[in-house]
């Protein structure tokens, strides 16, 4: 079946599904396969549960007209998304980066939704499946689209750009993340820079943080740039940390005002500034931008302020790499909070740099006074110094249940694979 033919079926059945555990009646099931599973084997089950069609790439499983046979189910999903994308002439904004891309996406979306009908990536569904699924959820009433793009190796962002065809791009930063796949910081910049490459080749626009000099170098040749930062930018601001939550003093476009946020940490300053720059560029008034940012309350284990009993936690346990770990620790150390405790999980995908990066993290911790420190994960084995160490989060949680902190401020951070949220759950 051709993509145009499949698209006609999609228009009548616009719900795309890939997980038989979460099926809704109607729509189209795509039989995607991975290293340890074959989606084709679930096609009959999907149809029995009420989906209208099943797209499969194993012809022998096609039992009746409800089965749509394609050469490759994943490629068909991506090409269907591209075909759908081409039906729109609205601005598509792509966001990538080592740190802050999901928070930036959420803030940008919140600001845009104050005026426009805006569709955006759900959660962090930002991979080779998530990007096309996001695009296929965009309805005809859309006025804006915000697409988050994650990557851990070269050519990944380039591939997503060929599906999403972004008109605007934001690279939040290029830090020490997914080093194993990218092959070092230069590899990270090259991989994330694939977004700039697409924008450059297609005469698009970027929103660029002037506080990161390397982005200026990466952006050479892009004629349309909207800049933001703490200086030398069209949209200028300054981070303020007078309490737990970040405030941003705006000093641009003849406007001096303060933006309140529910975000913990000065490291969220560029994320807020990106959202302000996007909003101003698309004609949204500063008062509406302020309101949208002020009411945004993170609920995805990113920069959350959580109270459990007598304790207060900064919950930032969805992702961690050397850059974000260092920023979070330094921010926490500088915060005016009582009885500071660190609960840190190991950083994943460090490759050959794993021991070095975790050793440097322990050295950074040693430069400050803490009430206590718990380190979790095999990554800290043998290099945890004088601090309490556990091989996994379950063991650490049991220790916390037996030795609960009281009236303390806790930074809880680690890679998703470290399952650090288990430690918070151990608190009463």
Cα 147–150–154 angle (5° rounding)? Answer: 125
Do 329 and 276 lie in one domain? The reply is no
Do 262 and 377 lie in one domain? The reply is no
pLDDT at 374: 96
Question: Looking at the domain assignment, is residue 80 inside a domain?
Answer: no
Do 117 and 262 lie in one domain? The reply is yes
- Using a pLDDT cut of 70, give the percent of the chain over it: 97
pLDDT at 185: 78
Rounded to a whole number, what is the distance in angstroms from the first to the last CA of the chain?
56
User: Do 196 and 222 contact (CB within 8 A), yes or no?
Assistant: yes
Question: Looking at the domain assignment, is residue 396 inside a domain?
Answer: yes
How many angstroms separate the CA atoms of 139 and 405, rounded? 49
> Does the model's pTM come out above 0.75?
yes
- pLDDT tens-digit series, residues 407-428: 999 999 988 888 898 999 999 8
Distances (CA, A) of 75 to 63, 78, 79, 161: 22, 5, 6, 15
Do 28 and 100 lie in one domain? The reply is no
154 — pLDDT class (breaks 50, 70, 90) = confident
pLDDT at 142: 98
Long-range contacts of 15-20 (CB under 8 A, 24+ apart): 16/77, 16/133, 16/136, 16/137, 17/46, 17/51, 18/77, 18/129, 18/133, 20/45, 20/46, 20/49
Do 280 and 347 lie in one domain? The reply is no
How many angstroms separate the CA atoms of 75 and 390, rounded? 43
What is the average per-residue pLDDT within 149-168? 93
Do 275 and 312 lie in one domain? The reply is no
Judged against a pLDDT cut of 60, whether residue 278 lies above it is answered with: yes
229: left (phi over 0), alpha (psi -120 to 50) or beta: left
Name the residue among 178, 189, 187 with its Cα closest to residue 353. Answer: 178
Do 67 and 95 lie in one domain? The reply is no
pLDDT at 175: 74
What is the average per-residue pLDDT within 331-341? 91
pLDDT at 364: 95
Do 214 and 291 lie in one domain? The reply is yes
pLDDT at 336: 87
The answer to which of 72-81, 125-134, 172-181, 403-412 has the lowest mean pLDDT is 172-181
The DSSP code sequence of 196-207 is HHHHHHTT-EEE
Name the residue among 72, 57, 270, 85 with its Cα closest to residue 160. Answer: 85
Q: Kindly report the length of the chain.
A: 428
pLDDT at 193: 94
Distances (CA, A) of 283 to 116, 148, 167: 11, 22, 17
| DSSP letter (8 states) at residue 49 | T
How many angstroms separate the CA atoms of 219 and 210, rounded? 11
Do 312 and 283 lie in one domain? The reply is no
The DSSP code sequence of 311-355 is EEEEEE-S---HHHHHHHHHHHHHS--SSEEEEEEPPPS-GGGHH
Bridge partners of 388?
374
The DSSP code sequence of 360-378 is HHHHHHTTS--SEEEEESG
187 — pLDDT class (breaks 50, 70, 90) = confident
CATH of the domain at 219: 3.40.1190.10
Question: Looking at the domain assignment, is residue 264 inside a domain?
Answer: yes
Do 212 and 317 lie in one domain? The reply is no
Looking at 229, 264, 295, the residue that finishes a domain is: 295
Looking at 43, 74, 105, the residue that finishes a domain is: 74
Question: Looking at the domain assignment, is residue 341 inside a domain?
Answer: yes
| 303, two tokens | 């920069």
Question: Looking at the domain assignment, is residue 259 inside a domain?
Answer: yes
What is the average per-residue pLDDT within 8-35? 92
User: Do 147 and 95 contact (CB within 8 A), yes or no?
Assistant: yes
CATH of the domain at 13: 3.40.1390.10
User: Do 375 and 365 contact (CB within 8 A), yes or no?
Assistant: no
- pLDDT tens-digit series, residues 243-274: 788 999 998 766 789 999 999 888 899 999 99
Question: Looking at the domain assignment, is residue 79 inside a domain?
Answer: no
For the chain, what is the domain count?
Answer: 3
Judged against a pLDDT cut of 80, whether residue 300 lies above it is answered with: no
User: Do 105 and 95 contact (CB within 8 A), yes or no?
Assistant: yes
CATH of the domain at 340: 3.90.190.20
Judged against a pLDDT cut of 90, whether residue 242 lies above it is answered with: no
User: Do 305 and 312 contact (CB within 8 A), yes or no?
Assistant: yes
27: left (phi over 0), alpha (psi -120 to 50) or beta: left
How many angstroms separate the CA atoms of 32 and 34, rounded? 7
Judged against a pLDDT cut of 60, whether residue 178 lies above it is answered with: no
Query: 291 or 184: whose pLDDT is higher?
Result: 291
How many angstroms separate the CA atoms of 314 and 305, rounded? 5
- Mean of pLDDT over the chain: 92
Judged against a pLDDT cut of 90, whether residue 391 lies above it is answered with: yes
pLDDT at 280: 95
Name the residue range of residue 69's domain.
3-74
Looking at 48, 74, 100, the residue that finishes a domain is: 74
Judged against a pLDDT cut of 70, whether residue 179 lies above it is answered with: no
Do 211 and 108 lie in one domain? The reply is yes
Do 145 and 245 lie in one domain? The reply is yes
- pLDDT tens-digit series, residues 217-235: 999 999 999 999 999 999 9
Question: Looking at the domain assignment, is residue 82 inside a domain?
Answer: no
301 — pLDDT class (breaks 50, 70, 90) = low
pLDDT at 183: 65
Question: Looking at the domain assignment, is residue 119 inside a domain?
Answer: yes
């Amino acid at each position: 079946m051709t993509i145009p033919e499949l698209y006609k079926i999609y228009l009548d059945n616009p719900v795309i599904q890939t997980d038989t555990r979460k099926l809704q009646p109607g729509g189209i099931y795509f039989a995607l396969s991975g290293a340890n599973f074959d989606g084709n084997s679930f096609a009959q089950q999907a149809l029995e549960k009420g989906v209208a069609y099943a797209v499969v790439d194993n012809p022998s499983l096609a039992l009746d007209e409800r089965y749509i046979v394609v050469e490759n189910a994943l490629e068909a999903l991506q090409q269907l998304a591209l075909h759908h994308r081409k039906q729109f002439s609205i601005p598509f904004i792509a966001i990538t980066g080592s740190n802050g891309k999901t928070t930036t996406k959420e803030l940008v979306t919140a600001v845009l939704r104050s005026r426009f009908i805006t569709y955006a990536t759900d959660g962090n569904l930002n991979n080779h499946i998530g990007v096309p699924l996001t695009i296929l959820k965009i309805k005809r009433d859309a006025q804006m689209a915000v697409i988050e793009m994650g990557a851990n190796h070269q050519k990944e962002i380039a591939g997503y750009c060929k599906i999403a065809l972004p008109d605007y791009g934001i690279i939040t930063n290029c830090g020490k993340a997914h080093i194993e796949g990218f092959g070092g910081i230069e590899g990270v910049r090259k991989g994330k820079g694939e977004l700039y490459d697409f924008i450059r080749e297609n005469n698009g626009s970027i929103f660029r943080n002037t506080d990161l000099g390397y982005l200026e170098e990466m952006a050479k040749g892009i004629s349309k740039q909207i800049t933001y930062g703490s200086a030398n930018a069209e949209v200028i601001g300054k981070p303020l940390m007078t309490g737990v939550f970040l405030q941003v003093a705006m000093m641009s476009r003849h406007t001096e005002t303060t933006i309140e946020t529910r975000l913990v940490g000065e490291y969220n300053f560029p994320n807020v500034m990106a959202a302000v720059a996007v909003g101003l560029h698309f004609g949204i008034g500063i008062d509406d931008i302020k309101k949208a940012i002020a009411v945004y309350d993170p609920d995805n284990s990113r920069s959350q302020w959580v109270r459990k009993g007598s304790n207060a936690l900064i919950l930032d346990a969805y992702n961690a790499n050397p850059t974000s770990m260092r920023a979070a620790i330094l921010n926490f150390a500088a915060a005016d909070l009582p009885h500071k405790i660190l609960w840190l999980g190991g950083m994943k995908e460090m490759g050959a740099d794993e021991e070095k990066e975790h050793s440097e993290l322990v050295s950074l911790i040693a430069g400050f006074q803490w009430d206590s420190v718990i380190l979790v994960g095999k990554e800290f084995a043998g290099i945890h110094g004088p601090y309490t160490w556990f091989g996994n989060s379950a063991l650490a949680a049991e220790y916390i249940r037996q030795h609960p902190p009281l009236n303390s401020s806790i930074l809880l951070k680690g890679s998703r694979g470290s399952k650090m949220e288990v430690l918070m759950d151990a608190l009463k």
